[in-house]
């Protein structure tokens, strides 16, 4: 019974986070928002290995997609992730410092700052 309450509380928190995210980000297109949610998560995972945060982000992204009737198959999600990985890694001759600068720019963007702060607020 206690586990069931925790799961319901977790789902409620997820809904609250997703709702707050929507309210703070105005009318951006759903596809664009999903891209940025995944982008923030990937950049944050490079900067800090925070598996619970990554799991929470994927949960929120999935919830957001379901609530908005957005269906992406695994290949489509993999393509989004590949594009983001390419953006983060940059050209083949990029240094680690350049990559770290791209990661910091993404993580410190307005959308990611808001999104990641919401995720950290558990």
Helical segments of the chain, H only: 2-25, 30-47, 51-67, 74-89, 96-107, 110-120
Q: Could you report the per-residue pLDDT of 89-102, keeping only the tens digit for each?
A: 999 999 999 999 99
Which pLDDT does position 122 carry in this prediction? 60
Name the domain count of the chain: 1
Q: Are 109 and 44 in contact (CB under 8 A)?
A: no
Q: Are 17 and 119 in contact (CB under 8 A)?
A: yes
Which pLDDT does position 35 carry in this prediction? 92
66-88: average pLDDT:
90
Domain extent, residue 45, equals 2-120
The most confident of 26-40, 53-67, 101-115, by mean pLDDT? 101-115
Confidence of residue 72 (pLDDT cuts 50, 70, 90): confident
Question: pTM for the full model?
Answer: 0.73
12-23: average pLDDT:
55
Provide CB contacts within 8 A for 7, sequence distance 6+. none
Higher confidence at residue 6 or residue 101? 101
């Amino acid at each position: 019974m206690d586990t069931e309450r925790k799961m319901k509380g977790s789902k409620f928190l997820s809904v609250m986070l997703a709702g707050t995210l929507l309210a703070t980000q105005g009318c951006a297109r759903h596809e664009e928002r999903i891209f940025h949610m995944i982008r923030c998560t990937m950049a944050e995972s490079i900067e800090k290995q925070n598996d619970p945060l990554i799991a929470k982000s994927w949960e929120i992204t999935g919830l957001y997609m379901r609530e908005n009737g957005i269906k992406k198959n695994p290949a489509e999600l993999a393509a989004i992730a590949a594009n983001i990985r390419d953006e983060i890694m940059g050209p083949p001759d990029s240094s680690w410092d350049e990559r770290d600068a791209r990661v910091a720019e993404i993580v410190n963007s307005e959308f990611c700052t808001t999104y990641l702060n919401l995720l950290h607020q558990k």
